[in-house]
Amino acid sequence: PSAQYALIVPPEMLAEWGGEAATVGLVAGNGPAPSRARADRARAAVAGAAGAELFVERPYSSPRTRQMYVLLALAGVVAVGSCLVAVRLAALDSRRDAATLLVVGADPRTGRRLAGARAATTAGIGVLLGGVSGLAVGAAAVLAEAYFFGYFNPAWSIVVPWPLLMACLASVIALATLLAAALTPSRLGEERPMIP
- 3-state SS track over the chain: CCCCCCCCCCHHHHHHCCCCCCCCCCCCCCCCCCCHHHHHHHHHHHHHHHCCCCCCCCCCCCCCHHHHHHHHHHHHHHHHHHHHHHHHHHHHHCHHHHHHHHHCCCCCCHHHHHHHHHHHHHHHHHHHHHHHHHHHHHHHHHHHHHCCCCCCCCCCCCCCCHHHHHHHHHHHHHHHHHHHHHHCCCCCCCCCCCCC
The pLDDT assigned to 1 comes to 45
- Is the pLDDT confidence value at 183 over 90? no
Domain that holds residue 93: 65-183
Burial (CB count within 10 angstroms: exposed 0-12, middle 13-18, buried 19+), residue 178: middle
Do 32 and 89 belong together in one domain? Answer: no
Do 88 and 174 belong together in one domain? Answer: yes
Do 25 and 83 belong together in one domain? Answer: no
Q: Which of 7-16, 67-76, 83-92 has the lowest mean pLDDT?
A: 7-16
- Is the pLDDT confidence value at 36 over 60? yes
Do 103 and 159 belong together in one domain? Answer: yes
Number of domains observed in the structure of the chain? 2
Q: What is the mean pLDDT of residues 122-135?
A: 93
Backbone angles phi and psi of 170, in degrees to 5: -65, -35
Instruction: Tell me the pLDDT band of 194, cut-offs 50, 70 and 90.
Output: very low
Do 100 and 143 belong together in one domain? Answer: yes
CA end-to-end distance (rounded Å), the chain: 63
Do 89 and 149 belong together in one domain? Answer: yes
Do 70 and 7 belong together in one domain? Answer: no
- Residue 70 within a domain: yes
Sign of torsion, CA 97 99 103 107?
A: positive
The pLDDT assigned to 173 comes to 94
Q: Mean pLDDT highest for which of 25-29, 46-50, 59-63?
A: 46-50
- Residue 125 within a domain: yes
The pLDDT assigned to 172 comes to 93
Listed in sequence order, the residues at least 6 apart from 169 whose beta carbon sits closer than 8 Å to its beta carbon are 127, 131
Do 22 and 77 belong together in one domain? Answer: no
Q: What is the mean pLDDT of residues 25-35?
A: 79
Do 17 and 104 belong together in one domain? Answer: no
- Is the pLDDT confidence value at 159 over 50? yes
How much of the chain exceeds pLDDT 90, in percent?
33
Residue that terminates a domain, selected from 44, 59, 74: 59
Polymer length of the chain:
196
What letter represents residue 121's amino acid? T
Do 101 and 150 belong together in one domain? Answer: yes
Q: What is the mean pLDDT of residues 126-132?
A: 92
Do 49 and 78 belong together in one domain? Answer: no
- Residue 193 within a domain: no
